[in-house]
Every structure is written in C-alpha cells, then in structure tokens.
C-alpha cells in the first residue's frame, strides 16, 4: 500500500473486509481533511505508482464496492449530539441505512 496515492482508503476498506473487521462510515461524525498542494487533490495520479493501491485490490468493480459508503455501519449524531451507530441493511450487494442503536 502506498500512502498519498489514489485508492488508499479503498485499500484499507478492502483489507478490513477480507479480515472480517467491522467497518464504520464515520464521515458524518469524524473531522478529517485532505492536505494538498498547488496540484490539488489529483496530485497522487502524477506518480508512476499512482495505481499501485488499485492494483492490490483487483478489478474495477471491487474498487467501487470498497468505498466508505458501502460500510455495514454508519455513525451519526442524535438529537442530543451524541454519536450513535446505525446498521446499513444489505440489499442487492449494497448496504442501506437502518437504525440499530439509540
């Protein structure tokens, strides 16, 4: 795996999935940002090893299934601003949101 190259996050999700590690989409509750230079968020594509992480995962279809929005769990804030988890219901190979905790 090469940090700072495209598909870095996809590769982490792929490895977690292979090893039956719970995956949580924390997009709504985790503060995160990407640092970029003048070349912007596509700078990772300018290196000769830019597709290294994608090649580790395999075919194109699998790459899109390893996104954070396909994680079986998702975090969110409740009305009191506490972080809660929801389960995503699996339909046709994809997960959809469904509350499991309050």
- The CB-side HSE value for 15 (13 A sphere, CA atoms) comes to 9
Task: Count the residues in the chain.
Answer: 102
4-32 residue pLDDT tens: 788 888 888 888 888 889 899 998 999 87
Instruction: Report whether pLDDT(3) > 90.
Output: no
10-to-24, 36, 53, 80 alpha-carbon distances in Å: 13, 19, 8, 32
Given a cut of 60, whether residue 93 has pLDDT beyond it is: no
| Domain extent listing, the chain | 8-99
Question: What is the rounded distance in angstroms from the CA atom of residue 14 to the CA atom of residue 18?
Answer: 6
**Does the predicted model carry a pTM greater than 0.75?**
no
pLDDT tens-digit series, residues 34-91:
677 787 777 778 888 888 888 888 775 566 667 788 888 999 999 999 999 999 876 5
Q: What is the pLDDT of residue 15?
A: 85
Residue 23 near residue 73, CB atoms below 8 Å: yes
């Amino acid at each position: 795996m090469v940090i700072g190259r495209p598909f870095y996050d996809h590769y982490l999700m792929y490895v977690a999935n292979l090893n039956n590690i719970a995956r949580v989409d924390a997009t709504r509750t985790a503060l995160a940002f990407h640092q970029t230079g003048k070349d912007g968020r596509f700078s990772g594509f300018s290196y000769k090893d830019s597709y290294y992480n994608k090649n580790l995962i395999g075919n194109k279809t699998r790459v899109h299934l390893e996104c954070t929005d396909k994680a079986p769990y998702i975090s969110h804030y409740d009305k009191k601003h506490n972080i809660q988890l929801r389960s995503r219901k699996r339909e046709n190979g994809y997960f959809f949101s469904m509350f499991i905790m309050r």
